[in-house]
Structure 1
Amino acid sequence: MAPSFSSATKLFSFSLLLLTTTMVYEANSQLPLQTTLVFYLQDIATGPNATVSPITGLTGRDWTYEQFGTIFAVDDPVMMSPSPVSAQVGRAQGLLVVSAHDGANVNAVLSIVFTNLQYSGSSIEIQGISRQRESYKELSVVSGTGRFRFAKGYAAFETVFYDPGTAHSVIRLTINLRQS
C-alpha cells in the first residue's frame, strides 16, 4: 500500500510551493508594475545617412512607402529629446512592410535596443499595424529582454517634426509597459 499524505502535509507542501514561486517572481521582477518611457526617433529616409531603406518590393514597381509589398529595413537612433544632438539611448531596428493594397498600412516589427543608461543590454519588442496617414499610431509591445523581460503594453508613435526637403522626421515614442 502506498504511503498517504495527511491534509496538513499537503497544505504545507502547497504553501511552500506558492511561497517559492512568489519569491522567484519578485526576484526576477525588474520594473514597477506600470512604466511609461518617452524617447524620440530620428528617422531619415533619403541620402547617405538614411536610417530607413527599401530592401525589396514587387518586380516592376517603385519601392515606396505607398507601394504594396515594399519592405524596408529600419535602424533609427533613439534619443532622449527631439534634438538630433541629444543623448542617444539606443536604436530602433526592424522591418516595415507595406501591407495594405492602397498603401495605407505598414506592418511594423521593431526592436528598441538599449545601449545607454540603466537599460543597456535590454530590448523592447514592438509589433503591429501602423496607419501611415495618421500622425498618431499605437502598436503592441509584445515582449522584451533584460530589464524588460515579460513586459507587455503599447507603444505610441507621434510625428512631432517632418521636413519634406530632407525626408527627416522626429517621432515621439511613448512606451507604456505593464509587467506581467
Structure 2
Amino acid sequence: MARPNLLLLLLPALLSAGSTGRPASSTNLGGIGGEKLTHLRFFFHDIVSGPQPTVVTVASGASTNTSATFFGLVSVFDDPLTVGPKPTSQLVGRAQGLYASAAQDSMGLLMVMNFVFVNGKFNGSTLTILGRNQIFTKLREMPILGGTKAFRFARGYVQARTHSFDLVTKNAVVEYNCYVLHIDE
C-alpha cells in the first residue's frame, strides 16, 4: 500500500519537471534562445556564357551529349545573389556549389549549394541547400539542411521560380524564396 502513496506524492513533481510553460516553437535550447522564422527573397544569376561565366562544367558521362536530359553532366557554380532580377541590383551574397543532371527521363538536377551572405544583417552567415531541382517545373522546392552564424540550427525550405532563361546563352535568373527556422540569438 505504500507504493501507490509514493507514486501520488511524486506525480506532481514528475509532471512539472517536463513542463517549461512555453510553446514548442520558443523552446529554450541550452540557454541559446528560441526559434525564429525568417523569410528571405533574392535572385540567383546563373551565367553559363559570356566574358565572365559563373558556371563551369567539371565532368560528363560518355552519353551526356546524346542524352535529352544531359544525364551525367556535373557543373560547379559561384553565382551572384541579388536583391532584384537585374545583374546590377544590390549584391546580397553568392550561391556556391554544384549541380548534376541526375535523371534520365526528365530534367532533374541534384543541387548541392551554400548561400553565402556578404551584405546586410546576415553578412558572414550561410544556408546549406540539398535537393532535386526540376528546372522546367514552374515552382520547385528544396530543403534547407543547416546554416552558420545567424542561421545556426537552420532548417526549412526554399522555393525556386525561374524569372528568365535565355535559350541562346543558357543564362538564367531564378527567384529564390527561403523560409528558415533558426535560433534567435
Q: Could you state the TM-score of these two structures normalised by the residue count of structure 1?
A: 0.79
Q: Percent identity?
A: 29
1:45 aligns with 2:53: no
1:67 aligns with 2:70: yes
* 1:72-115 CA distance string (max 9 Å, x none): 10111000111211110110011101111134211111100111
Aligned partner letter, 2:182:
Q
Q: 1:136 aligns with which of 129, 136, 139?
A: 139
Tell me whether 64-73 or 134-143 shows the greater mean CA deviation: 64-73
**Distance (Å, rounded) in 2 between the aligned partners of 1:103 and 1:44:** 22
Q: Secondary structure at the match of 2:111?
A: strand
The correspondence of residues 112-131 of structure 1 with structure 2, limited to 5 A, is 112-131=115-134
- The TM-score normalised by the length of structure 2 is 0.77
What residue ranges of structure 2 are gaps of 5+ in the alignment?
Answer: 1-8, 21-26
Is 1:27 matched with 2:32? yes
- Partners of 2:160 and 2:118 lie apart in 1 by 21
Contact 2:42 2:82 in 1 (8 A): yes
**Counterpart pick for 1:176 among 169, 174, 179:** 179
Q: How far has the Cα of 1:123 moved from its partner?
A: 0.3
- CA shift for structure 1 position 121: 1.1
SS in 2 for 1:173: strand
How far residue 28 of structure 1 moved from its aligned partner, in angstroms, is 4.6
Match among 140, 151, 154 for residue 151 of structure 1 = 154
Alignment partner of 2:121: what SS? helix
Q: What is the letter of the counterpart of residue 140 of structure 1?
A: P
Contact 1:56 1:63 survives alignment (8 Å): no
Please name the residue that 1:4 is paired with. none
Shift of 1:122: 0.7
Go from structure 1 to structure 2 and tell me whether the alpha carbon gap of 1:118 and 1:110 turns closer, same or farther (over 3 Å shift).
same
Match of 1:100 in 2: 103
Q: RMSD across aligned C-alpha pairs, in angstroms?
A: 3.0
CA shift, 1:151, in A, is 1.2
